[in-house]
Amino acid sequence: MLKLYFPIVLILWLGAVGYGQTPHLNADSLKADFKLFRDVLQRYHPGMYRYKHPYKVNADFDKSEKDFIASRDLKEAYLSLHRATSKIQCGHTYPNFWNQERSIREALFEQEDKLPFTLALVQDKMYVHKDVSGNRLKSCTEILTINGVPVADIVENLKHHRRLDGNNMAKFYNDFSITGEGKYEAFDVIFPMLYPPVNGKYQLTVSYLERDTIPIEVTAVSREKRKTLLNLVGDDKAKLWKKYFAEDSIATLKLGTFAVWNMKLDWKAYLENFFKETQEKNSKYLLLDLRGNEGGLMEVYWELFKYLTAEPLRLKRDSLGTVYEMVRNEFKPYLETYDPTFFDLTGKVTKKDYDFYEFNDVGLKYLEVKPSQYAFDGEIFILIDSANSSATYYLAKFLKQNQLAKLIGAPTGGNMMGTNGGQFFLLKLPYTKLEVDVPLIAYHPHEDAEDGGLEPDILVERNFHYYFSQWVMENDPDRTALLEAIYQD
């Protein structure tokens, strides 16, 4: 059976054209890079026309080509490529931060040009969470302007760099908030390139609870320095997995990532031990907290499923397919993949119509679930939000469709019309050395669906009041909604 992944790939390319060493790029070479980019995407991307008519897709490519060829340096080329992939409306297609060459990452992503606080974007407004600027900004302080530019204008510009499935804009606001965790976040990558600090400083105007507007100056920092000031020590993903048992018979399992490769934790044993404890403690309710978790290995949710049902299940999965059978030799030198069998799918797929090949493996059509002896037999609740756009999206979708759990929180990322992922080509453009993730498998639902995320059973809106309650009042609105649901029953 084919293994399916939704990874944040950690492939490092060497020998990039350095940002500082290329003040002016050659237009003909840029044109050749873009032609390769366009050819590969239109031949092998399985969701190219999911949301747009081919005429519109071609028009977008034509405009993006002009934009890319006009790039004067690597920073502009990267931003242009990011805008081009954004138009495809696929959350797994973009110039992946982690997959760029080391010199590119250092030059473009790792400078001292970040804002010295974490923040949340709420529609077109920006609110400070944790400040390390020395200005003692309170949580929920609103940033009104940055270097004289209104935040609403900044957000509108950032939207051209969104990484969404379809038109699910909730994912944009999640992606362009800052938690400070991990190696990279979208806001820290894109914003400083568009709005760099002036002499290492940002001039802000701020307001707290719509009181007086105050001008302040903050010093730009590196992402690593901000992490140190926030006391965010280490990047071991194991710290994103937490469990605890409350006196109200609620067993809580927080899974902050499914990206378990290289995790310093035996994650399968961790899950088994947790569910064994729920039986020993006679927990009546299970709270699975997936907030902030985009996804990772599909294997994690397959493993989870055997603890979430007491009965054997055979679940029909979305239709899986691709748009090619064999990759042409001319493209192979520019494509990397961690499963080289995807260069030649002969015998593994069957052509169904003009541009769709369905996988023959029956194991990809159904999810067979055999319950564990420690399967939870109480009531299950899942906390979700717009970060859930890959493996976590599909876990939440299966649980809701099969009435195995109640979903609480905000609509997910991903898209009910289907997503793309599973396996990837890493396209490396020969001149600029920029990399683009190209998903190879399309997931199509069997039923008609609208363009948007999975809706929760109990909606908890992400607005100013949500963050004020969480950050200032130290109250979790999603957990409050959970307790209300339990006591109402």
Give dist(CA 206, CA 208) in Å, integer: 7
Is residue 79 one of the residues assigned to a domain? no
215 shares a domain with 277: no
160 shares a domain with 249: no
360 shares a domain with 214: no
Is residue 128 one of the residues assigned to a domain? yes
Report if pTM > 0.85: yes
- The one-character DSSP state at 237 is G
316 shares a domain with 464: yes
Nearest residue to 237 via CA among 308, 293, 303: 293
Is residue 145 one of the residues assigned to a domain? yes
Tokens of 411: 């609509």
What is the pLDDT averaged over residues 207-235?
A: 93
Q: Is the pLDDT of residue 168 over 90?
A: yes
DSSP 89-143: T-TT-S--GGGS-HHHHHHHTSSS-B-SEEEEEETTEEEEEEE-SSS-PPTTEEE
CB neighbour burial string for 173-211, b if at least 16 within 10 angstroms, e if fewer: bbbbbbbbbbbbbbbbbbbbbebebeeeebebbbeeeee
Domain total in the chain: 2
What is the pLDDT averaged over residues 277-298?
A: 95
pLDDT at 367: 86
313 shares a domain with 217: no
Span 438-482, pLDDT tens digits: 999 999 999 999 999 999 999 999 999 999 999 999 999 999 999
Is residue 100 one of the residues assigned to a domain? no
pLDDT band at 139 (very low <50, low <70, confident <90, very high): very high
Span 77-94, pLDDT tens digits: 999 999 999 999 999 999
Nearest residue to 88 via CA among 109, 63, 121, 123: 63
431 shares a domain with 317: yes
Length of the chain: 489
Is residue 207 one of the residues assigned to a domain? yes
Give dist(CA 131, CA 117) in Å, integer: 4
154 shares a domain with 124: yes
Among 173, 197, 221, the domain boundary falls at: 221
Give dist(CA 94, CA 13) in Å, integer: 16
Q: Is the pLDDT of residue 245 over 80?
A: yes
Residue 13 CB neighbour total at 10 angstroms: 18
Cα dihedral across residues 479, 481, 487, 489: positive or negative: negative
Lowest mean pLDDT segment, chosen from 13-17, 212-216, 326-330, 339-343: 13-17
pLDDT at 5: 40
pLDDT band at 1 (very low <50, low <70, confident <90, very high): very low
Q: Is the pLDDT of residue 19 over 70?
A: no
pLDDT band at 10 (very low <50, low <70, confident <90, very high): very low
pLDDT at 13: 35
14 neighbors 102 (Cβ within 8 angstroms): yes
pLDDT band at 64 (very low <50, low <70, confident <90, very high): very high
Give me the CATH number covering residue 139. Answer: 2.30.42.10
469 shares a domain with 342: yes
Q: What are phi and psi of 205, to 5 degrees?
A: -120, 135
What is the pLDDT averaged over residues 275-285?
A: 96
180 shares a domain with 322: no
Range of the domain at 355: 237-488
pLDDT at 248: 75
pLDDT at 89: 97
Among 221, 249, 280, the domain boundary falls at: 221
Residue 375 CB neighbour total at 10 angstroms: 18
Span 103-119, pLDDT tens digits: 999 999 999 999 999 99
What is the pLDDT averaged over residues 2-8?
A: 41
Nearest residue to 71 via CA among 437, 438, 439, 429: 429
pLDDT at 23: 55
Q: What is the mean pLDDT of the chain?
A: 93
Is residue 171 one of the residues assigned to a domain? yes
pLDDT band at 489 (very low <50, low <70, confident <90, very high): low
- Angle, CA of 179, 427 and 452, to the nearest 5°: 50
210 shares a domain with 254: no
Is residue 345 one of the residues assigned to a domain? yes
260 shares a domain with 187: no
Is residue 346 one of the residues assigned to a domain? yes
259 shares a domain with 392: yes
Q: Is the pLDDT of residue 11 over 70?
A: no
Among 221, 245, 271, the domain boundary falls at: 221
What is the pLDDT averaged over residues 54-63?
A: 97
- The one-character DSSP state at 473 is S
pLDDT at 3: 44
Residue 102 CA to its chain's centroid (Å): 22
